[in-house]
Chain A
Amino acid sequence: MSELPTWADQLRALEGVVDNLMAEWRPEDATEAEVQDMVKYALATLASGYLCRVYTDARRPVFMPLWNYACVQGGPNPDYVYSTIEIDPLGVYELSGDRGTTRFVEITQQAENIPNPSLEPPKEPPLRLTNDLDELTLDERGTFSVIVSAERPPGYTGDWWPLDPRAQRLLMRKCSCDWANEVDARVAVNRLDDPGEDMTAAEIARRFSDMAAWIEGRILHEIRLVRYYREHHGINVLLKSKWIEQVGGLAKQAYYDGIHEIDDDEALIVEVPLPTQCHYWQILVADDRFATVDWVNRQSSLNDAQARVDSDGTFRAVISTQDPGVHNWLDKANFPWGIIQMRFYLANEHPEATVTKVPVTAVRTHLPPDTPVVTPAERREQLLARRKGAQLRRIW
């Protein structure tokens, strides 16, 4: 009857995805657990693909959840809530809502709609136009409204952000440090120049057909990026990201990356003298696909509100599988190797970080004597509070 793909056709087109991913992730033998973990990863990315690619519509936009604790590809920062819409660069959009009280809310214009797995540097500087809700006028209730369009609408004198002709997508990053008590922004988007219409059958089918590329593009890119860092930064180090600098850098934020690869009875001590001024900083551990270690159930990240800073102004953390009994444990879980990533946002200096491998039982001899001991009961409380905070963030 129809020219459009059937459900079975669409599923068939997805069949090669996991084998293709496994071939890059584990070119030698994979364990059964690793195969199933990649199947789970692909299923999660299919779910995010439905939400962010099939449901979404540049004429009837709604910010949809992209990366989060259930969809962890892309090395999500646990402090960030990531939401996205597709956008037509010729459209006129109104963003409105409540600012909330979180640390910052950024909205970045992106030129890519379906992720490209390649790490090849772009021929031209990539589109990285980022605005921040704190640029906007808030009324006494904390609400805002901003028009985003190629040109300022005639006669409009309110807040306005220019829309780049290359923009295909907006990525919103909402950053919170005290997860339980900061209030997340609420952001709505409406297209003002086009009321849109129900998605056609052909458009639904086309978007469903994008799912294989969506899953492979997102996951492959991150698998390759981890391997770039292994090659260019090295093992058990934390260096300012060469890849970010190679693709043009970020105006506000410095990323540090390196590989962690230690045995279960070993630990890495990461030491960073903190910048004297910094709007936000954070550190996380991820696996070797840039899947951030489960941050709901494990302490796999620390930010400037969660971490304990030593009296000399240095942040010292311990990366390990076994609990080292210190506040600043970064739980790398059972992954054989993966990524350490740190970021400084609007910092006055970008310090050097040192990474030292030690036996996990000898961690204390490498830390200042006043480093407090965290008992198992205290760890339990710390993790319960973390679980609660992660759930109190607004994901969608």
Chain B
Amino acid sequence: MGELPTWQEQLRSLDPVVDNLLGIWRPDGPTEAEVQDMNRLALSILACGYLCHVYTDADRPVFMPLWNYALNQGGPNPDYVYLQTEIDESGTYEITGFRGTTRFVEITQQQRRIMSMDVFNKPRLGAGPGRGPTTHELDDVTIADDGSFRVILSSERPADYTGDWWQMDQGVQSLLVRKCACDWVNEVDARIAINRLDVRGADMPPEEFAQRFSDLPQWIEGMIHFDTHLVRYYLEHHGKNVLLRSQWIQQGGGLAVKQAYYDGIHEIADDEALVVEFPVPDPCRYWQILVADDRFSTVDWVNRQSSLNDVQAHIDDDGWFRGVVSRRDPGVWNWLDKADFPWGILQARFYQADEYPEATVTKVPVAEVLAHLPADTRTVTADERTAQLRERRIGAQLRRIW
């Protein structure tokens, strides 16, 4: 009947996605568990693609959940809630809501709607030479007594409008929101709505829906390939069992305005551990460390302690953070649980810090970890670990994801 692709045709076009990804991720052949894990990841990013690319509409925008514990790509920072909406660079948008009390809320103007290797190869397609994509934060705008805000985003300030206004960069195609919380239980997440003011929009025509569904193989492959490749970049350029300031981020010059990323590969045996040490910069508006697998899927942070931030971590009396990356529980508060993955990424970030410390990473037998840590290192019993993980599970669930 129609010219548009059928359901079967759309599904068939998704067929090669997992084989292509397995070819990149496990070129020498995956285990059965790895095949199923990639199936699950691809299905999850299909769901993410529906929410963020098929449902969304630049004329009728809604911030949709992009990366989180169930849609685990892009090396999500467990402290961040990531939301995305497509927008049109020629549009006039109002962003409204309530600021909440979380550490910060950033909104980045992105020059793309779909991740691809192009993003890796030209990481800083920004608003101009040497500039990254523009990032605003809610703390830049006026917050009313009831905690509400309203800001207009457009290429030019609307005539006679004197309220908060953010300039839209040329070529912007989507907005990425990052809401950062450290005390997951007690900080109040921002509530954010977006409306397009210059166009009313219409129901999505069947042709556009079909096109967006047809984009999903690229959505899935592009996103997972990008991050799998980025992990291998760090393997090649940073090396194993290290934590170095990100060469990839630095080479772009963008994010480093506010945030320094540190990356390295972890690759240890089950009876080994990595002791990660750095002096915590002071001041520093926010810092955090996480472990991910070798596709940049962050290790399940609802059920495992795979990340620590400046509220969750214990800092030693000398002002240093010392964490232990391992599969087995080393019995210290600052355990970073790498789960069963054979290797993966270790990543730390410092946000608005005055200085960027060097981090050391030392491989030791997991049974000897305490011998490599200060005598006053905070240890935990099995019961204390259970309580710590229960509190973490609650906190992760109390965050607002969507």
Binding site for B on A (CB under 8 A): 1-2, 4, 6-8, 10-12, 14-15, 17-19, 32-33, 35-40, 42-44, 46-48, 50-51, 54-55, 60, 62-65, 69-70, 96-98, 186-190, 195-196, 198, 200-202, 204-205, 208, 294, 296-297, 333-334, 380, 384, 387-392, 394-396
Contact = CB atoms under 8 A, between A and B. Distances in A.
A50 B135 CA distance: 32
B44 A190 contact: no
A43, A186, A202, A208 — which one has the most chain B CB atoms within 10 A of its CB?
A43
30 contacts: A11-B15, A18-B8, A36-B209, A39-B213, A46-B47, A47-B47, A50-B43, A50-B44, A50-B70, A60-B303, A70-B55, A96-B394, A186-B400, A188-B393, A188-B395, A189-B397, A190-B390, A190-B393, A196-B303, A201-B32, A202-B36, A204-B40, A208-B43, A388-B96, A388-B193, A391-B63, A391-B192, A391-B194, A396-B401, A396-B402
Contacts of A186: 397-398, 400
B339 A198 contact: yes
Given A204-B40, A297-B60, A333-B203, A46 B46 contact: yes
A54 B43 contact: yes
B191 A54 contact: no
B191 A64 contact: no
A394 B17 contact: no
Given A7-B15, A39-B6, A394-B400, 17 more contacts: A10-B43, A35-B6, A36-B209, A40-B213, A43-B50, A50-B46, A50-B47, A54-B43, A70-B51, A70-B55, A186-B400, A188-B394, A202-B36, A384-B195, A384-B197, A388-B97, A389-B193
A155 B37 CA distance: 42
Interface in B192-242: 192-195, 197, 200-201, 203, 206, 209-210, 213
A307 to B, nearest CB: 22
A186 B98 CA distance: 16
B24 interface: no
A36 B394 contact: no
B46 to A, nearest CB: 7
B397 A63 contact: yes
Given A46-B47, A51-B70, A7 B39 contact: yes
B42 interface: yes
Contacts of B6: 18, 35, 39
A294 B203 contact: yes
Nearest to B40: A204
B17, B40, B42, B63 — which one has the most chain A CB atoms within 10 A of its CB?
B40
A27 B60 CA distance: 33
B137 interface: no
Contacts of B203: 294, 297, 333-334
B7 interface: yes
For the complex of A and B, the 4 pairs showing the least CB-CB separation, nearest first, are A391-B193, A32-B2, A188-B397, A7-B18
B400 to A, nearest CB: 5
A12 B8 CA distance: 8
Interface in B303-348: 303, 339-340
A240 B248 CA distance: 63
A62 B19 CA distance: 30
A296, A380, A387 — which one has the most chain B CB atoms within 10 A of its CB?
A387
B141 interface: no
Interface of B: 1-2, 4, 6-8, 10-12, 14-15, 17-19, 32-33, 35-40, 42-44, 46-47, 50-51, 54-55, 60, 62-65, 69-70, 96-98, 191-195, 197, 200-201, 203, 206, 209-210, 213, 300, 302-303, 339-340, 386, 389-390, 393-398, 400-402
B38, B302, B402 — which one has the most chain A CB atoms within 10 A of its CB?
B402
A37, A97, A204 — which one has the most chain B CB atoms within 10 A of its CB?
A204
Contact of A7 (B17, B201, B206, B390): B17
A276 to B, nearest CB: 33
A19 B6 CA distance: 10
B49 to A, nearest CB: 8
Nearest to A191: B393
Given A32-B206, A190-B390, A70 B64 contact: yes
Contacts of A10: 39, 43
A196 B393 CA distance: 13
Nearest to B393: A190
B69 A40 contact: no
A261 B381 CA distance: 66
B33 A394 contact: no
Contacts of B396: 62, 188
A387 to B, nearest CB: 5
B72 to A, nearest CB: 10
Nearest to A50: B47
B8 A15 contact: yes
A2 B35 contact: yes
Contacts of A60: 302-303
A186 B8 CA distance: 39
Nearest to A188: B397
B47 to A, nearest CB: 4
Contact of B398 (A19, A97, A196, A296): A97
A198 B400 contact: no
Contact of A62 (B63, B69, B98): B69
A12 B11 CA distance: 8
B55 A44 contact: yes
Nearest to B12: A11
B14 A11 contact: yes
A392 B339 contact: no
Given A188-B393, A188-B394, A296-B60, A388 B195 contact: yes
Contacts of A201: 32-33, 35-37
A188 B398 contact: yes
B96 A395 contact: no
B46 A296 contact: no
A98 to B, nearest CB: 8
Given A7-B42, A201-B37, A43 B4 contact: no
B65, B193, B201 — which one has the most chain A CB atoms within 10 A of its CB?
B193
A195 B390 CA distance: 9
Contacts of B37: 201, 204
